[in-house]
């Protein structure tokens, strides 16, 4: 990967000047945070606490945020004067790794987690450090846990006598009963078809087990055209055609989610950020809960596994002025001592095992914790994060066509395979090694 390619990927505007070092021997760590649905006030509060506790070490964290923070720091990365730490996505991460622009966290992960005597690395939920790991080096730290689930209003379910389905056949029957009751079964963020991707990926595991996920993650030719994946695509299309709310494919994420919280649709597939994103629009008495993707009859996958990963990633650039202090602040931010307040303040589940107590989060997120407690592990597919052009130009429009009934499951899967083959053949492609999941460990056939 040449420097010119990286420069093109990082081109941007609105560069900010680097925060001054400070007077005397004071080390001012500059931290830049994406100011999205979670805001930045909690992060500022933690930065203030860290600065107070490390005043004797002459270290202070200056934290700022912006909805366009990625665009603001891109030119600074090129100039070699980036913030000491940034929490965001929207950057060509693997290009940065290949060009030596990011510092790995390995040394910091060997230190004890703040508030414990346990090595920091050992506290992370297995799999949450994988997304940006290459050659044994961890180049990014998750500050949150991400998972995919089906959300519903428990109050509505009680009123109608509906129960959470355990199998896909039961899910289909539930959707039919919901429509018979005069309610739309499933709201969907149709203008952003990638919201359907994670349900489809989970159905791949339910149908074909982790062996199917491994074939896709290893980019084996024809991995998406395997009969198990085609079956998952068919179930996804049938769900969309039979049970999506009428008009769903024209809705944005906020429009569809408003349909859900206002009771016009009984369920919605979404990540675990849903409650926080809709907190200002959810009416009193709404009992938001979630359940895992049900088992598929005759499927090869363990239905207790779920589509999960690290989220809200933290990076420390190689050109940071104070990289060790920046990584120490990351170790403080993502720690058992701050996880309970993070859950209570901004509704985020920690990526560390057992660090978020049930008492710290809402009943909605408690249902996520229930799902996590029942799961022997997590899995994910990496193609959408690794091949951004494939995601935008192949996966999303192809998935939209599948959901609309404009292509068959076989055509959809073949398009995915053809697009992956082209992406892998690109001489500029960066394809890090991947360690396959062990199906036997999770009670599946290899």
pLDDT in tens, 198-248: 999 999 999 999 999 999 999 999 999 999 999 999 999 999 999 999 999
Cα 404 to Cα 8, 168, 232, 235, 438, distances in angstroms: 35, 20, 16, 13, 35
Closest CA to 377 of 305, 440, 434, 308: 305
Pairing of strands 265-271, 141-153: antiparallel
Asked if the model's pLDDT at residue 191 lies above 60, the reply is yes
pLDDT, mean over the chain: 92
Asked if the model's pLDDT at residue 271 lies above 70, the reply is yes
Joined tokens for residue 305: 């596994």
Please report the beta strands in 213-350, taking only residues with DSSP state E, as ranges in sequence order: 265-271, 288-291, 306-315
How many Å apart are CA 349 and CA 185, to the nearest integer? 28
CATH 3.40.190.10 fits 147-307+381-436, yes or no: yes
Closest CA to 437 of 302, 328, 323, 284: 302
Reduced to 3 states, what is the DSSP secondary structure of residue 207?
A: helix
Q: What average pLDDT does this structure show over 150-169?
A: 98
Helices (H), strands (E): how many in the chain?
A: 19, 11
**pLDDT tens by residue, 89-114:** 777 888 899 999 999 999 999 999 99
313 forms beta bridges with 142
pLDDT at 318: 96
Looking at the chain, the whole-number percentage of residues with pLDDT higher than 90 is 83
Residues composing the chain: 446
222 HSE (CA, 13 A, CB side): 3
324 exposed, middle or buried (CB, 10 Å; 0-12, 13-18, 19+)? middle
Closest CA to 305 of 445, 164, 203: 203
How many Å apart are CA 330 and CA 31, to the nearest integer? 10
Closest CA to 145 of 130, 133, 121, 128: 128
Query: Looking at the domain 3-146+311-358, which fold is it?
Result: D-Maltodextrin-Binding Protein; domain 2 (3.40.190)
60 forms beta bridges with 28
Closest CA to 290 of 372, 411, 409: 372
Name residues whose C-beta falls within 8 Å of residue 398's C-beta, 6 or more positions apart in sequence.
407, 412, 415, 416, 419
Q: What is the largest CA-CA distance in the chain?
A: 72
Q: 3-146+311-358 with 147-307+381-436: one CATH topology?
A: yes
Closest CA to 78 of 6, 140, 21, 30: 6
The DSSP secondary structure of 119-171, one letter per residue, reads: BHHHHBPTTTT-TTEETTEE--EEEEEEEEEEEEEHHHHHHHT----SBHHHH
Residue 4: which pLDDT band, with cuts at 50, 70 and 90?
Answer: very low
How many Å apart are CA 429 and CA 220, to the nearest integer? 16
Reduced to 3 states, what is the DSSP secondary structure of residue 408?
A: coil
Joined tokens for residue 440: 């036997």
| Residues 216/209, Cβ–Cβ less than 8 Å | no
pLDDT at 408: 98
Residue 153: which pLDDT band, with cuts at 50, 70 and 90?
Answer: very high
Question: Alpha-carbon dihedral of residues 364, 200, 293, 282, nearest 10 degrees?
Answer: 20
Question: Alpha-carbon dihedral of residues 125, 131, 134, 138, nearest 10 degrees?
Answer: -50
**Alpha helices in 19-68, H assignment, sequence order:** 41-53
398 HSE (CA, 13 A, CB side): 23
Q: What average pLDDT does this structure show over 53-73?
A: 93
**Per-domain residue ranges for the chain?**
3-146+311-358, 147-307+381-436
7 HSE (CA, 13 A, CB side): 5
Residue 18: which pLDDT band, with cuts at 50, 70 and 90?
Answer: low
Asked if the model's pLDDT at residue 168 lies above 60, the reply is yes
Residue 17: which pLDDT band, with cuts at 50, 70 and 90?
Answer: very low
HEC per residue, 77-99? HHHCCCCCEEECCCCCHHHHHHC
């Amino acid at each position: 990967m040449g420097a010119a390619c990286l420069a093109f990927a990082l081109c941007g505007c609105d560069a900010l000047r680097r925060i001054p070092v400070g007077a005397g021997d004071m080390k001012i760590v500059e931290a830049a945070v994406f100011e999205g649905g979670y805001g930045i006030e909690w992060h500022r509060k933690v930065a203030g606490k860290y600065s107070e506790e490390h005043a004797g070490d002459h270290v202070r964290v200056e934290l700022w945020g912006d909805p366009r923070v990625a665009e603001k720091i891109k030119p600074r990365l090129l100039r070699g004067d980036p913030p000491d730490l940034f929490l965001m996505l929207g950057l060509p991460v693997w290009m940065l790794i290949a060009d030596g622009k990011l510092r790995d966290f390995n040394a910091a992960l060997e230190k004890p987690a703040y508030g414990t005597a346990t090595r920091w690395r050992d506290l992370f939920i297995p799999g949450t450090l994988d997304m940006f790991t290459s050659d044994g080096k961890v180049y990014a730290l998750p500050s949150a846990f991400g998972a995919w689930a089906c959300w519903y209003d428990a109050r509505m379910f009680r009123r109608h006598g509906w129960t959470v389905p355990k199998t896909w056949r039961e899910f289909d029957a539930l959707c039919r009963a919901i429509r018979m009751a005069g309610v739309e079964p499933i709201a969907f963020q149709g203008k952003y078809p990638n919201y359907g991707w994670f349900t489809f990926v989970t159905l791949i595991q339910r149908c074909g087990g982790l062996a199917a996920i491994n074939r896709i993650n290893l980019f084996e030719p024809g991995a998406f055209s395997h009969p198990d994946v085609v079956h998952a695509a068919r179930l996804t299309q049938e769900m969309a055609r039979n049970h999506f709310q009428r008009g769903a494919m024209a809705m944005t994420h906020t429009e569809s989610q408003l349909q859900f919280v206002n009771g016009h649709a009984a369920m919605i597939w979404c990540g675990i950020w849903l409650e926080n994103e809709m907190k200002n629009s959810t009416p009193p008495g709404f009992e938001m809960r979630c359940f895992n993707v049900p088992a598929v009859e005759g499927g090869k996958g363990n239905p207790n596994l779920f589509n999960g990963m690290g989220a809200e990633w933290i990076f420390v650039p190689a050109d940071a002025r104070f990289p060790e202090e920046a990584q120490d602040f990351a170790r403080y931010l993502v720690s058992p001592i701050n996880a309970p307040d993070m859950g209570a303040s901004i509704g985020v589940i920690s990526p560390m095992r057992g660090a978020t107590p049930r008492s710290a989060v809402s009943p909605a997120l408690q249902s996520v914790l229930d799902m996590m407690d029942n799961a022997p592990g997590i899995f994910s597919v990496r193609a959408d994060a690794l091949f951004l052009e494939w995601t935008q130009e192949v996966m999303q429009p192809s998935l939209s066509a599948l959901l609309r009934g404009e292509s068959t499951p076989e055509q959809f899967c073949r398009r995915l395979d053809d697009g992956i083959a082209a992406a892998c053949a690109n001489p500029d492609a960066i394809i890090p090694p991947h360690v396959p999941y062990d199906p036997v460990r999770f009670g599946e056939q290899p």
